[in-house]
Amino acid sequence: MLRIRLIGLKESGQIISKPQASYTAGYRLYLWRIFTCAAAILIGLLGTASAQSPTWQETATGWSGNSTSVSTSSNISAATSQLYLAAVSTKPNVTVSSITGLGLTWTLVGAQCGGRAQSRTEIWKAIGAPAAAGKVTATLASTPKAATIAVSRYSGVDPFSPVGNVAMSNTNGNNGACTGGSDSFYFLIKVTTTVPNAVVFGAISLRQASFYTGLGYTERGEIHSNVGSADDAGIAVEDNDFSKPGTADVYGLMSSNVDWSAIAVEIKPLVLTTSGPLDQGPGGPILIVSSSSNPFTKYYAEILRAEGLNDSR
């Protein structure tokens, strides 16, 4: 025979158990459905979730001229479960075919051409267990006049979903077309962060111009090619922490008017949960299905935790 008990924890820490009703074994499946639904609704939080902003670790850069690839000039370290973001700029607008390096799988985050097709910015990401430190290489769909790359590494990221919202812009506006733009010396992108303590990462193609970060931002890398100013490519990357979810302005200035293209990316933090003792339960009422031959013990909280029913994510 099965018995439903309502389990709770008094302020004093004393565990209480109240038998509610008796059921025959034929109701087991029905009761299990009640159990899983009610436990998910009524269970109290076992701990406090906390997150610190992801931490920038390093940026490696490189450039090439009249080549179908561009690589970092130095190795970037191998670190498990850390986020790698590769920002690539070309002059003119040339697509990146693939990114390779560190033995990781790289996927496209976003791509934006310049408003006159004289630049292109792409961001690719990778996360996992790198085979070893090494250089990162972008393979291009055709041969540009010049290309630059900046690869940044961040620790303390959400290992399952490290990248949140993405926004892109050029002189024509958000997700701007590749024709009809007018060169300017500043850029502004608005991206909405979805979690507390996110980092917003910005990458901008600025050709031959120098870069000046927006207020509150830190420049993590800047590289220009050296093929001649008219044909040069350049990339700059910056970041900033945002403690609360909301709209973040990503911006900066260039030393001259250029056909820029920019991308902003939300980097989501790792969330840690600190829990109380397993034998004290979640601190609030939960619905328990038990056997009359096996009365309530203090280990129910541990069983629930093992089953994941106390997971507040």
Greater model confidence, 17 or 97: 97
Return all residues near 297 (Cβ < 8 A) that are at least 6 apart.
Answer: none
Smallest CA-to-CA distance from 194 within 166, 152, 156, 214 is with 166
pTM of the predicted model, to two decimals? Answer: 0.75
The ranges assigned to domains in the chain are 2-46+276-307, 51-271
Return all residues near 145 (Cβ < 8 A) that are at least 6 apart.
Answer: 65, 66, 91, 92, 227, 231, 232, 233
Greater model confidence, 76 or 25: 76
pLDDT score, position 230? 87
Q: How confident is the model at residue 272 (pLDDT cuts 50, 70, 90)?
A: confident
pLDDT tens-digit readout, 59-97: 999 999 999 999 999 999 999 999 999 999 999 999 999
- Helix (H) / strand (E) containing 31: helix 28-42
How many CB atoms lie under 10 A from the CB of residue 11?
A: 6
Q: What is the spatial order of strands in the sheet that 286-291 belongs to?
A: 15-23, 2-9, 286-291
CB 164 within 8 A of CB 194: yes
Amino acid at 245: P
